[in-house]
Amino acid sequence: MDSIKQLEQEMESKEKELVSLKHELAALRKQLPLFTVEDYTLTSTEGEKLLLSELFGDKSELIVIHNMGKSCSYCTLWADGFSGFTKHLENKAAFVLTSPDDFQTLSDFSNERGWAFKSVSTKGTTFKEDLGFKSKEGFWPGVSILLKEEDGTIKHYTKAAFGPGDDYCSIWSLFELLPEGSGSWGPKHKYEE
C-alpha cells in the first residue's frame, strides 16, 4: 500500500509541476511584442466578403484558429473539439476558424462536420502568412489572439501552435490514460474508418 501511496504522491507532484510550467509558458507568450494587423477582407461560408474587424462583433478579443483546411485530418480533429466549446468560448471572446480553402469547400466541409462556429476563408489573402502560420513549406495549425482597440486598430497579442499532445485538443490527454497511450493512432476524416 505504501508504494501505491508513494506513486500517487509522485503523480500529484508531476501534475502540479505541469500546471506551474503552463503558467510560465503563458507568461512567456504574453511577452511577445504586439503588432498591428491589417483589416483583411475575408470570405464567409456564404461567399460574403467581410472585414476581419467585423469578426469581433461586440467583443474586443478574437480567438483565431488557423486551420490548414479540409485535407488535414488533424486540423479537423481540433475543429471538431471546438464545436462543443463554441458557446463557452464566445461567452468570453469572439471566435472564428480560418481556412485556406475556398469558401465553398469550407462551407461544405463545415456543414458536413456540423461545426457550430463561424468559419472564414483566407484564400487570396496573406493573412496566415502575415500572422506566422504559412511558410514556404505550407500552412501550419494554431491559434492567434487578436485585440481590437477603441480606435478600431487590430493588434496581434499572442499565438500558439497546434500538435498532438497540446492543450488545445483534450483527446490526447484522455488517450494517454489508456494502457497503450495514443500509440500510432491518428485522426480520420470519417469516424468509421
Q: How confident is the model over 128-155, as pLDDT tens digits?
A: 999 999 999 999 999 999 999 999 999 9
Q: Is the dihedral of CA 10, 15, 18, 24 positive or negative?
A: negative
Kindly report the average pLDDT of the chain as a whole number: 94
| Better-predicted residue by pLDDT, 100 or 165 | 100
Q: pTM for this one?
A: 0.92
Mean pLDDT of 2-10: 92
What confidence score (pLDDT) does residue 193 get? 55
**What DSSP character marks residue 52?**
G
Burial of 80 (0-12, 13-18, 19+ CB in 10 A): middle
Predicted confidence (pLDDT) per residue in 150-175, tens digit: 999 999 999 999 999 899 998 888 99
Query: Band of the pLDDT at 33, cuts 50, 70, 90?
Result: very high
What distance in Å separates the CA atoms of residue 38 and residue 36, rounded to the nearest whole number? 7
What confidence score (pLDDT) does residue 192 get? 61
What distance in Å separates the CA atoms of residue 90 and residue 116, rounded to the nearest whole number? 11
